Amino acid sequence: MKAVVQLVPGPEIVTELIAFCGHYLARYKLPRSIDFEAELHRLPTGKLTADSAYGSAEMLGWLVNERAIAPHIPVFDRSARDDRTFSREDFAYNQEADIYVSPAGRVLTSTGTLVNDGATLLYRASKHDCDACELKSRCCPKMPARKVPRSIYENARDVARDIAKTEAYVMSRRERKKIDILFAHLKCILRLDRLRLRGPFGCSRRVPPRCRGPEPPIAGKADPAARPNDEND
């Protein structure tokens, strides 16, 4: 497996890049070699395509803070509650004071201690404020005091949420769905219904030889006679 990388001016350090990939990719997905290019392939609109797996907090932080890439990607967010109590969105965050304010005007502060593998801060309200709060039954009926988690990459997540409200995001989502349709055609039209991409050779056993190569096959333009024979597989 080979990776293509566009670097800023500086030394080409291969071992460090492979070690960096080891923190985010499975072992069988690690590149064995790396090619350095002056410019990566981009769409005519100047965008790089990616799947929704980039919607994690850590990956969004890398895209926004380190690479200055606008993430047109859905955000992984499990803060919504199904018990009709206040969710994290109902609490207003004051960035200057680094506090959360509850719907009743109570203040939630953090000690600065990181939890959950060093990626989350917990903002807690005082028990005295929660006991006297008239909205306690809708906020934390089963807890002595309310706490709100905040990722250290929450600023990058907010950038992705703001982009998701724009018309440009709607266009990007349509383009991404077009690519998804191409993969669906590979399964339905070319009968690659049992395509497995696990491991470096998982795909080569299923894709016809004439469709293999540096460029991916285009759905609908492959020769129907090159379909794999399920009976002989």
DSSP string, 117-176: TTTEEEEE--HHHHHT-TTHHHH-TTSSS-EEEEETTHHHHHHHHHHTTSHHHHHHHHHH
Nearest residue to 150 via CA among 178, 188, 102, 114: 114
Task: Give the pLDDT band (50/70/90) at residue 56.
Answer: confident
Average pLDDT over residues 96-125: 91
Region of residue 205 (left: phi > 0; alpha: psi -120 to 50; beta: else): alpha
Average pLDDT over residues 174-187: 77
**DSSP code at position 64:** I
Name the amino acid, one letter, at 196.
Answer: R
End-to-end CA separation in angstroms for the chain: 24
Question: What is the pLDDT at residue 183?
Answer: 72
Answer whether residue 93 shows pLDDT above 80: yes
Task: Give the pLDDT band (50/70/90) at residue 78.
Answer: confident
Q: Which of 8-22, 111-125, 187-201 reaches the highest mean pLDDT?
A: 111-125
Average pLDDT over residues 30-41: 69
